[in-house]
Amino acid sequence: KATVSVLNWLWKCAATMSDDLAYYCLMAKNSHGRAAAEVVTQAISSPNVFVFGELLSLPPVAQLAEAPDTRAAYDLLLIFTYGTYTEYQERKAALGLPELSDAQLRKLQQLSVVTLASKERTLRYSDLQAALGVSDVRLLEDIIIDTITNNLVQAKLDQAARCMEVFDVFGRDVRLEDLDAMIATLTEWQQSSALVSDELGRVVAQQDAKKPRKAPDQ
């Protein structure tokens, strides 16, 4: 039942986002130069789009990297596709990235929560505050709640322990160069799961062997 619930959740997330993403992809296919850059700006500002790989792969969008007046839009899209708020802050000056609107900032902070949650199942408030550039705990909790509400993570807040407990995470776009590492991680997980399953089978067999046998009916 838990597996079905997670699959239904993932399907709901994907269905909601795909319609909005399809709209921006259609707009981008018929745009060039600054018009395409404006579509990118709209997409990263949209409250319902959190994956951008398909948009990034479109030729008119890829061409934004080739012109000085649209390069920043392309670089910003790369960060929203794969990166985090910390990366934005680190690369902002060097790449000439624009200031984020309130909507863009909140979205990038949520995407950063997703990235962190994909690596750790327990996230301390202090680590999240540092990663998101947030000093106020109430604001941090609002960002986390928005991330949960948008179906990007399944998690709960432990205000007493000042941490976030993660149960599941929506998958972000993945760079091609990261696929090998992901495959290695999944393979390791599969092997570990098989060992656990074998050990459980052995324990069950031992317990069954210890059970008293019923005498045959006379």
The pTM for the full model equals: 0.77
Annotate 138-168 with DSSP letters as a single string: HHHHHHHHHHHHTTSEEEEEETTTTEEEEEE
Contact 114, 170 (CB under 8 A): yes
Ramachandran region of residue 87, left (φ > 0), alpha (ψ -120 to 50) or beta? alpha
Per-residue pLDDT of the chain (218 residues; tens, 9 = 90+): 444 454 454 445 544 557 889 999 999 999 999 999 999 999 999 999 999 999 999 999 999 999 999 999 999 999 999 999 999 999 999 999 999 999 999 999 999 999 999 999 999 999 999 999 999 999 999 999 999 999 999 999 999 999 999 999 988 888 765 555 545 555 665 666 677 777 778 777 777 777 776 666 65
For residue 61, what are the CA distances in angstroms to 5, 41, 47, 70?
36, 11, 20, 10
Q: Is residue 216 helix, strand or coil?
A: coil
For the chain, give percent helix, strand, coil, nearest 5.
Answer: 65, 5, 25
- What pLDDT, on a 0 to 100 scale, did the predictor assign at position 6? 47
Cβ proximity of 40 and 56 under 8 Å: no
